[in-house]
Each structure stands twice: as C-alpha cells, then as structure tokens.
C-alpha cells in the first residue's frame, strides 16, 4: 500500500494545485492519460468523471493529464467537455472551480465509434499519440472499461490490433475493469483469458470500489496497528460476525444490468466477500500487493458453505409499499423488469471458515435493496463472559460485547460493553463508545474512486483484487446460486424492513438475531 509519509511520487510532477499540508493522498500521478469506454454511462457520470476532477482539484493529477472519451455519440471535443462539466458540477465532492476545470479541459478529447469499429480505434491511436506530443503524456495510457463484460472481447481485440495495449520502452499501458467479472466461475475465467491475452496480469486493475473506501482500509489499521483487538479476534472470544450492506434505494434505472444478476452476484461476490476477507485474514507480512492478496486468498480458500443451504441462506425480493413516507413500487413493477422475474434483491447466507482462528464462528452476510436504511457495517460479536458475579435480574439488559466497524454512512467504530447503571444497585446495562471520522479528522474522506484511479495511475496494486480472489469468490457463491435457481424462489419483503422473514428465521435457527443498525 502507498507509503503515506513519502512526499511525492518518484515520477510525479510538481503540481501547483496541491495543498502541501494534505498528507492523506500525497502521491501525484506522473504524465499520463486515461481512455474511458462507457463514458456516457451512469458510473462515469456520477463517479468516475467527478473523481478525476476531484483529483485534479486536489492537485494529484499532472497538469497535462489527458482524458479521452470513447463512445457512439456524435460529439466534438467541445461537446464532450460540456458533458464532463455538467457531470462534474453536479457530482463533485470538492466543489466546482472554473480554473480547475480549465486545467482539465485542455486534455479532454472525444473519439466517436462503436466497440468493433477499427477505423475509430485508429483515430483513437492518433489521439493518444497527439496527447503524447502536445501534452507530454509520455506514452502512459490507461484504458478504463466501464462497459458490460460482453463487450470486453471486442474492445480488447481492437486495442491489441491497433497496438494500443503495447507500451514502448519506459512507458506503461494499463487496463481497468469494472465488475461484474463474469456471472460464475467459468465465465470469470473466460473473461480473464480475454483480458490477459492482451494485457499482462500486472497491468490489469480490477475495481472493487469498496476497497477504495477509507473505512474498509481502516479494518487493516484497526486490526494490525493496535495491540488491543488482535488477541481477542478469534474463536476463543468471538461468537459470530455479521456483515451487512443495506441500501434504501430500489434498483432505479438499472434493470438492464440487475435483472437476472441479483444481490448475491452484484455485491456479495465482490464487496461483502472482500470485507469478510479483510476481517478474517491473518496478518500479512507487509501491505505490498502480493502479501496482502496472498492472505486474502488464503482465508477465502478456507471458507465453507453450510451443508443445508435451505436452512442457512435466505433470498428475498421487495414488494410495493411505503418507505420513509414515500410510496414505492415493487421490484416486479420497476421499469424493464420481467413480470415473473425471480431475481433476488436481498440475499443472506452463513459462511464458516475452516481455520484454527475461526472454527465454529459463523460469518453471516446480508445485503439488499429497499431495506430500513443505507448502512454498511461489520459487527464482531463476542461471547458472553463465562461467569457473571451479579444477580441475573441485574444483568437482564446486558447483551454481548461487540466491535462494530461502521463502513458507511457515519463512518467510524463502535464498541459495545456493559457498564454499571448509576444508583445504589449493581445493575449492568449495555453502553457504547464511539470513534467517528467526522469528530476526529477535519477533512472529509476522498471518494473510493479517487483513491483507486490515483493508485492505478501510480501503478500501485494492493487495493485491486487479483484474478485468483475473483475465482475463489465465485467458487464460494456458485453452489448457492445454483441451489437457489433450482430450489429457492425469493421470499417477499416490505420496503423499509430488514428483509424477508426467512432471513430472521435463518439466524433464529442458530439462536441468534440480526442487528438493527
Ligand atoms: C455497486 C452495486 O457495486 O455498489 C450497486 O452494483 C450498489 O448495486 C453500489 O448500489 C453501492 O455502492 P456504495 O458505495 O453506495 O455502497
């Protein structure tokens, strides 16, 4: 991982826009450009373009940075610049500043073409060459595929035919791919073959944007920079772990992507299993990519599914109803959804980890749309003290100790433990102690995509999962998805609740309950 004490990158250019006191993202990308496929998509508009602007604003991209949009629109460079401006002014984190945008504007180019249009790829080659000549991008170019995986083969083969994938001496070419990395193990392997025929494995950057979140990286800081937690982070003390990723939104305009995919493939295969890996892995010998990835792979290899998938998984689909005072449609009534769709919008499952550290400690994962509120958290719930020297009536309100890593919103960490209620009796009740990012640090955390795009331009890979992790995650999930397809239709749940009854029954079978975050 990036050494945050280093003042500037070896190949980084001095940048007048950078605040020298800001030490959190201190490395500046060297001369380079990014070519973006899928630039008119939702992700580019809401996250990627604003992240590039915000990096520019924070002085972390070189002043000569080039950004090339590739797409079917009949746009000039000026039209593209207007589109980028609109996207950025609506979604920037750091605030819109005309002079910052002017710096970015100088490097904006647009190439019109479809993914199989060889002539357009020739044009792209010329544009990239022009950036090298006029803006000194030094032959360093990243290709960001924010497009459906079905289009990867075409784009990759065009990049190879036009020679865009090949770096000249001393420069680099990288490809960035967005999930979904396939829809099962076999398709993930096929997809990888396509990409790695054209780019070297070390030049492939797979985005899991959860790894770009400060609070997710903080799992490593919490566990491995302190003496306090690691001694109790194991089966002797931990009762179980709950990992929740709840969203209050529905699927909105994403039917084309979501229907037939569902929650397990959309977020459990990647985000939740990455959170599990970071929570459960052994200490890596360093935070270099190879060491970190090796530990994540080791723990993912040890994950086991329960034998009885009907009892230990749950699947749901939201029905129509009310959420926070607004009437909302059922999943089946959303635009573009098949009327008899059995795609799940809620998924929960129990996973076990067959290692000395975790034997007998279930990890419960749940995720869903249209739930009670937007919250992602990891709750490590501890066993009860083996003996309580109090009257049982005095500890009636005492729950289990817990450490909760609040990934978002309200980022921070909570500890729950028992404390004496003031008064003449020795009554003990749960209290919480909070660390909140907002209270302890003055600056807002960067967006995940800012961090990941910068790391990619710097060639710093620890926050990008490698293919083996992707495959291990599919290996875990494939049997669940197959079982569901054959035996388990999603159960209905009302918007604003915490999922279907079956999810609560699943935990009740183990004598436990889900947290209400
Ligand atoms: C994406 C999923 O990866 O993560 C979306 O495809 C989901 O379905 C999104 O809404 C949530 O991201 P975040 O950062 O808002 O938690």
β-partners of residue 412 are 406, 436
pLDDT of residue 25 exceeding 90, the answer is: no
Place of tokens 């492939």: 204
CB-based pocket (< 6 A), ligand 1: 247, 266-267, 376
Place of tokens 């493939």: 265
What pLDDT, in 10s, does the model give residues 419-457? 999 998 889 999 999 999 888 888 788 999 999 999 999
What pLDDT does residue 251 have?
93
User: Which atom of ligand 1 is the closest one to the Cα of 251?
Assistant: 8
pLDDT of residue 473 exceeding 90, the answer is: yes
> Is 271 known to be catalytic?
yes
Fold of 33-178: Rossmann fold (3.40.50)
Residue of higher predicted confidence among 157 and 25: 157
What pLDDT, in 10s, does the model give residues 482-504? 999 999 999 999 999 999 999 99
Atom 9 in ligand 1: which residue has the minimum CA distance?
Answer: 267
For residue 40, give both structure tokens: 């008119």
> 246 alpha carbon to ligand 1 midpoint, in Å?
10
What pLDDT does residue 439 have?
84
Atom 4 in ligand 1: which residue has the minimum CA distance?
Answer: 267
Mean pLDDT across the chain = 93
Atom 13 in ligand 1: which residue has the minimum CA distance?
Answer: 210
Of the candidates 236, 217, 206, the residue with the CA atom closest to the CA atom of residue 361: 236
Q: What is the mean pLDDT of residues 81-104?
A: 97
What pLDDT, in 10s, does the model give residues 151-192? 999 999 999 999 999 998 899 999 999 988 999 999 999 999
> 399 alpha carbon to ligand 1 midpoint, in Å?
32
User: Which among 93, 216, 247, 449 is the best mutation to test ligand 1's pocket, defined by most ligand atoms within 8 Å of the CB?
Assistant: 247
What pLDDT does residue 218 have?
93
User: Which atom of ligand 1 is the closest one to the Cα of 271?
Assistant: 3
Gyration radius (Cα) of the chain, Å: 24
Q: What is the mean pLDDT of residues 202-226?
A: 96
User: Could you tell me the pLDDT band of residue 515, with boundaries at 50, 70 and 90?
Assistant: very high
Q: What is the mean pLDDT of residues 10-18?
A: 45
Sequence-distant (≥ 6) Cβ neighbours of residue 321 within 8 angstroms:
327, 328, 330, 494, 495, 496
Residue of higher predicted confidence among 237 and 23: 237
- How wide is the angle at C-alpha 248 spanned by C-alphas 246 and 250, nearest 5°? 110
pLDDT of residue 13 exceeding 90, the answer is: no
For residue 245, give both structure tokens: 């990723």
> 240 alpha carbon to ligand 1 midpoint, in Å?
25
User: Which among 180, 183, 209 is the best mutation to test ligand 1's pocket, defined by most ligand atoms within 8 Å of the CB?
Assistant: 209
Local structure of residue 319 (DSSP, 8 states):
-
User: Which atom of ligand 1 is the closest one to the Cα of 249?
Assistant: 10
For 49-53, the CB contacts below 8 A with 24+ separation are 49/84, 49/87, 49/88, 49/91, 50/87, 50/88, 50/91, 50/92, 50/93, 50/447, 50/449, 51/447, 51/449, 51/450, 51/453, 52/104, 52/453, 53/84, 53/88, 53/92, 53/94, 53/100, 53/101, 53/104
> 449 alpha carbon to ligand 1 midpoint, in Å?
12
What pLDDT, in 10s, does the model give residues 311-336? 999 999 999 999 988 999 999 999 99
User: Could you tell me the pLDDT band of residue 26, with boundaries at 50, 70 and 90?
Assistant: low
Exactly one of 183, 271, 312, 487 is catalytic; which is it?
271
Q: pTM for this one?
A: 0.93
> 340 alpha carbon to ligand 1 midpoint, in Å?
25
What pLDDT does residue 443 have?
79
User: Which atom of ligand 1 is the closest one to the Cα of 179?
Assistant: 3
For the domain bounded by 211-508, which CATH number is listed?
A: 3.30.360.10
What pLDDT, in 10s, does the model give residues 377-401? 999 999 999 998 888 888 888 899 9
What pLDDT does residue 8 have?
39
Helical packing angle, 152-161 and 185-196, nearest 10°: 10
What pLDDT does residue 5 have?
37
Give 99's Cβ-side CA count (13 Å radius).
Answer: 4
- Least confident interval from 20-34, 278-292, 380-394, 483-497: 20-34
For the chain, what are the domain ranges? 33-178, 211-508
Q: What is the mean pLDDT of residues 346-359?
A: 98
Q: How many whole angstroms separate alpha carbon 383 and alpha carbon 240?
A: 8
What pLDDT, in 10s, does the model give residues 124-140? 999 999 999 999 999 99
Q: Is residue 154 classed as helix, strand or coil in its secondary structure?
A: helix
């Amino acid at each position: 991982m990036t050494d945050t004490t280093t003042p500037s990158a070896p190949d980084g250019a001095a940048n007048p826009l950078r605040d020298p006191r800001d030490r959190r993202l201190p490395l500046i990308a060297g001369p380079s450009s990014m070519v973006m496929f899928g630039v008119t998509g939702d992700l580019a508009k809401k996250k990627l373009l604003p992240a590039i602007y915000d990096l520019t604003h924070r002085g972390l991209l070189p002043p000569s940075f080039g950004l090339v949009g590739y797409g079917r629109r009949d746009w000039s460079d000026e039209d593209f610049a207007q589109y980028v401006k609109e996207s950025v002014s609506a979604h920037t984190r750091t605030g819109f500043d005309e002079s910052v945008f002017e710096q970015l504007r100088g490097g904006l180019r647009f190439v019109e073409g479809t993914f199989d249009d060889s002539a357009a790829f020739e044009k792209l080659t010329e544009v990239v060459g022009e950036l090298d000549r006029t803006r000194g991008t030094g032959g360093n170019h990243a290709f960001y595929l924010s497009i459906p995986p079905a289009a990867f083969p075409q784009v990759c083969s065009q990049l190879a035919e036009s020679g865009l994938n090949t770096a000249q001496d001393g420069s680099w070419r990288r490809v960035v791919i967005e999930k979904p990395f396939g829809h099962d193990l076999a398709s993930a392997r096929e997809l990888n073959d396509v990409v790695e025929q054209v780019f070297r494995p070390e030049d492939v950057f797979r985005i899991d944007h959860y790894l770009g979140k400060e609070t997710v990286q903080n799992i490593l800081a919490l566990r491995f920079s302190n003496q306090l937690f690691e001694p109790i982070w194991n089966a002797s003390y931990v009762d179980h772990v709950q990992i929740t990723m709840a969203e209050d939104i529905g699927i909105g305009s994403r039917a084309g992507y979501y229907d037939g995919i569902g929650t397990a493939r959309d977020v459990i295969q990647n985000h939740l299993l990455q959170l599990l890996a970071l929570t459960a892995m052994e200490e890596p010998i360093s935070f270099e990519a190879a060491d970190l990835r090796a530990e994540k792979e080791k723990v993912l290899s040890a994950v086991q599914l329960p034998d009885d998938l009907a009892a230990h998984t749950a699947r749901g689909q939201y029905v129509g109803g009310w959420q926070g005072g607004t009437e909302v449609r059922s999943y089946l009534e959303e635009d573009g959804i098949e009327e008899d769709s059995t795609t799940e919008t809620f998924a929960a499952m129990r996973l076990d980890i067959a290692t000395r550290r975790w034997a007998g400690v279930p990890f419960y994962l749940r995720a869903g749309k249209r739930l009670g509120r937007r919250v992602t958290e990891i709750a490590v719930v501890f066993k009860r003290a083996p003996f309580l020297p109090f009257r049982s009536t005095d500890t009636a309100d005492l729950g289990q100790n817990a450490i909760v890593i609040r990934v978002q919103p309200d980022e921070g960490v909570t500890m729950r433990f028992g404390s004496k209620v003031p008064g003449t009796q020795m009554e003990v009740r749960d209290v919480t102690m909070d660390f909140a990012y907002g209270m302890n640090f003055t600056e807002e955390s960067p967006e995940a995509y800012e961090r990941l795009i910068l790391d990619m331009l710097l060639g710093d890979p620890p926050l990008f999962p490698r293919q083996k992790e992707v495959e291990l995650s599919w290996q875990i999930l494939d049997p669940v998805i197959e079982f569901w397809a054959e035996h388990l239709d999603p159960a209905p749940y009302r918007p604003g609740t915490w999922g279907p009854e079956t999810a609560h029954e699943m935990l009740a079978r183990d004598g436990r309950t889900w947290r209400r975050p």
